[in-house]
């Protein structure tokens, strides 16, 4: 049976065609000939199992059928295009197969079925957290510190998932609002998220206040991470502007401010603890609505990557998943976060996702629609073990046609440097911060639209270690380098 790709556009308009036109993309038939995909279900259970592990569901063979090869009577004539323009996406080689969620012996709590069936009901000793249940815990008592009892009143659930649950709470002693992430803890392993969060301290990374353990009547052990509470996310910001006016995306000054802080936070976690976040998306980028300070959150998928050590490839939320992950790469780098952040930047500029794939394979189709067919060298750079495939030759869609005609050239240039097939060609997060697109933020008179100052943007910490003098000159405004309290180790010759 021949199917149209789930996210391809009907020739006569329709919802998906309108979605493409709404983000400035011409219909498929104007960019490339209509594409049809032949889906053949794996015949044996072992193949189906492997395909499910890698997010390819049960579809293993795909043939691109030009419209002229599609028989009008519904037959399957021309299962391969006459010109050889077929598309074969094989399962990753055996050495790429990894357990569904584990990364090894140090894996954290993220396992299928790890949460209780009614995780909200079991959150606080079987009570609903939104009813004002009070949690008390003792902190201190180490290194001569006095012990202190702190009580939190749970107010509302702000997030749930396979990881557990996050709820907003209020400290009864101080009145401070906090976010508490509660996850089921495997007693055999240390919690990776806790270890990573303890090692990080940066203005653009969510801070861990303290943690405590709790148990249920079923003897389940839960880890509670108490963090600062930030009320909004980039997702809610995008949703707000979408509701206000369907044609106007986020104001450009906010796009610059939010994206810059996102890259600055990534530069820190990549360079200092050496952490790869592995789930950058608008929902995991917090925004303070008053100061407009941005903080990266949710390190439940994060990991310190070790060269030569295999990692799972089925990671990252689909719209923001780097192409090397779709190709089953297991020895990837922190550049997968850069790709994800590039997708977030494009979404802020467009007002909607750039690559809205409806399945793992359709995600690759969406990327090819914009970036064109990857070359063999680009595929080798993404995953050298992935060699058994053929692609139709589709030309890249020009960035000035992807975005609206008034989009600044600097915005398109930065996006193009982030969304590269070859991981080694992508900007680093620190290089992204230095891009001319963010020069407006470095102006001495730059302010928020309401006249208030920006949140601190140039109080760099260890993330500048190893940066070249030229890069530092671009990152830090001249007026700041002249200030007397500027760190002397960052004063550069000729500035």
Among 198, 279, 277, 276, smallest CA distance to 235 is for: 279
Among 54, 51, 49, smallest CA distance to 326 is for: 54
DSSP string spanning 124-191? BTTB-GGG--EEEEEE--STTPPPEEEEEEEEEEEEEETTEEEEEEEETTT--EEEEEEEE--TTS--
Query: Do residues 289 and 270 make contact, with C-beta atoms less than 8 angstroms apart?
Result: no
51 catalytically annotated: no
Among 173, 282, 170, smallest CA distance to 226 is for: 170
CA distance 440 to 433: 12
Tokens standing for residue 268:
């820190």
For residue 10, the 8-state DSSP code is P
CA distance 324 to 17: 28
Between helix 252-271 and helix 234-244 the angle, nearest 10°, is: 170
Query: Do residues 227 and 179 make contact, with C-beta atoms less than 8 angstroms apart?
Result: yes
Exactly one of 69, 108, 279, 337 is catalytic; name it: 279
Residue 182 is assigned to a ligand binding site: yes
Is residue 426 helix, strand or coil? coil
Q: Binding site for ATP: what residues are annotated?
A: 182
Q: Binding site: what residues are annotated?
A: 182
Known catalytic residues are 279
């Amino acid at each position: 049976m021949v199917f149209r790709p789930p996210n391809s556009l009907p020739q006569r308009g329709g919802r998906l065609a309108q979605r493409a036109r709404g983000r400035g993309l011409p219909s498929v038939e104007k960019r490339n000939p209509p594409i049809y995909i032949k889906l053949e279900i794996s015949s044996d259970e072992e193949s189906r199992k492997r395909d499910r592990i890698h997010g390819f569901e049960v579809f293993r063979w795909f043939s691109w059928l030009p419209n002229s090869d599609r028989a009008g009577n519904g037959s399957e004539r021309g299962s391969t295009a006459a010109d050889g323009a077929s598309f074969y996406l094989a399962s990753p080689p055996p050495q790429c197969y990894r357990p569904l969620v584990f990364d090894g012996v140090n894996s954290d709590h993220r396992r299928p079925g790890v949460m209780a069936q009614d995780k909200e009901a079991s959150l606080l000793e079987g009570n609903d957290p939104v009813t004002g249940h009070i949690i008390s815990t003792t902190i201190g008592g180490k290194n001569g510190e006095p012990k202190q009892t702190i009580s939190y009143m749970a107010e509302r659930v702000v997030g749930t998932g396979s990881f557990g649950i996050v709820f907003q709470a209020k400290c009864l002693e101080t009145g401070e609002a906090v976010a508490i992430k509660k996850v089921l803890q495997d007693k055999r392993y240390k919690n990776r998220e806790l270890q990573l969060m303890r090692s990080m301290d940066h203005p653009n990374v969510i801070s861990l206040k303290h943690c405590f353990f709790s148990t249920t009547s079923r003897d389940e052990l839960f880890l509670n991470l108490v963090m600062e509470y930030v009320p909004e996310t980039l997702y809610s910001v995008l949703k707000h502007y979408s509701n206000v006016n369907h044609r106007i995306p986020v104001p450009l000054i906010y796009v610059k401010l939010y994206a810059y802080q996102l890259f600055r936070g990534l530069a820190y976690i990549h360079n200092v603890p050496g952490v790869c976040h592995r789930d950058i998306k608008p929902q995991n980028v917090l925004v303070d609505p008053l100061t407009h300070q941005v903080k990266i959150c949710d390190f439940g998928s994060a990991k310190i990557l070790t060269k030569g050590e295999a990692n799972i490839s089925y990671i990252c939320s689909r719209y923001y998943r780097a192409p090397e992950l779709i190709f089953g790469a297991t020895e990837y780098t922190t550049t997968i976060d850069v790709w994800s952040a590039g997708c977030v930047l494009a979404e802020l500029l467009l007002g909607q996702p750039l690559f809205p794939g409806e399945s793992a394979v359709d995600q690759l189709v969406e990327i090819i629609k914009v970036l064109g067919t990857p070359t063999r060298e680009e595929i080798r750079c993404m995953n050298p073990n992935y060699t058994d495939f053929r692609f139709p030759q589709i030309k890249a869609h020009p960035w000035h046609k992807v975005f609206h005609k008034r989009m600044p050239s600097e915005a398109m240039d930065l996006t193009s440097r982030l969304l590269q097939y070859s991981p080694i060609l992508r900007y680093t997060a620190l290089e992204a911060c230095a891009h001319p697109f963010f020069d407006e933020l470095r102006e001495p008179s730059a302010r928020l639209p309401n006249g208030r100052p920006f949140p601190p943007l140039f109080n760099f910490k260890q993330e500048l270690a190893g940066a070249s003098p030229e890069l530092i000159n671009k990152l830090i405004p001249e007026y700041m380098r002249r200030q007397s309290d500027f760190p002397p180790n960052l004063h550069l010759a000729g500035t």
